Amino acid sequence: MTTTATATTTATATTTATATTSIAAETYWYEVDSPVGRLLLTAGSDGALTSLSVPGQKGGRSVRDGWRHDAGPFRAAEEQLGAYFAGELTEFSLPLRAEGTAFRERVWAALDDVPYGATTTYGEIAARIGASRPAVRAVGGAIGANPLLILRPCHRVIGADGSLTGYAGGLERKTRLLSLEGAPLSRPAPLPATPR
């Protein structure tokens, strides 16, 4: 069964100009074993997942002092990730909260619409969010900054020429995830224009 990803995306920027004290939001963390390495998950006190990082990930998170290690907020994520890696789940249904600029959040939301087992290009993502052709580079930067690897499927975005370019978790992981989903690992090259 192929379905599109559904995720709750909420932007929460809480800044108050008049506040004299700042209360840091509590962060929970947990690690889950997977075929692509040990996954580090973080969540806020409301249980919404805020990141999923893999070992050696460019820009990935690492455990910080003051974070609470607790499996409780991650039970559903662990179960769904296990089913995904077993080939039994095509759509995650988890509360997600990725914080970024309005542009990045639009790009990340567009990733949710890329179906399991399919691929798209950076240019197609730019078109989906109404960005101009020159904005494709910025779209690539936003995709590379996706804090929710696997859950928000940036691994399904490939180069316009069909190449498996760019993945913060490494191209080997990208290949494994696409293979797991049965997605094409490249796109056929467009035929040259025939003169009339």
Catalytic residue among 7, 52, 125, 154: 154
Task: Report the alpha-carbon distance of residue 112 to residue 143 in Å, rounded.
Answer: 12
Task: Report the alpha-carbon distance of residue 11 to residue 98 in Å, rounded.
Answer: 7
Task: Report the alpha-carbon distance of residue 52 to residue 94 in Å, rounded.
Answer: 12
Task: Report the alpha-carbon distance of residue 140 to residue 145 in Å, rounded.
Answer: 9
* Active site annotation includes 154: yes
187 burial class (0-12, 13-18, 19+ CB within 10 angstroms)?
A: middle
Local structure of 172: helix, strand or coil:
helix
Task: Report the alpha-carbon distance of residue 90 to residue 108 in Å, rounded.
Answer: 18
Q: Which helix (H) or strand (E) holds 44?
A: strand 39-44
The catalytic residue positions are 154
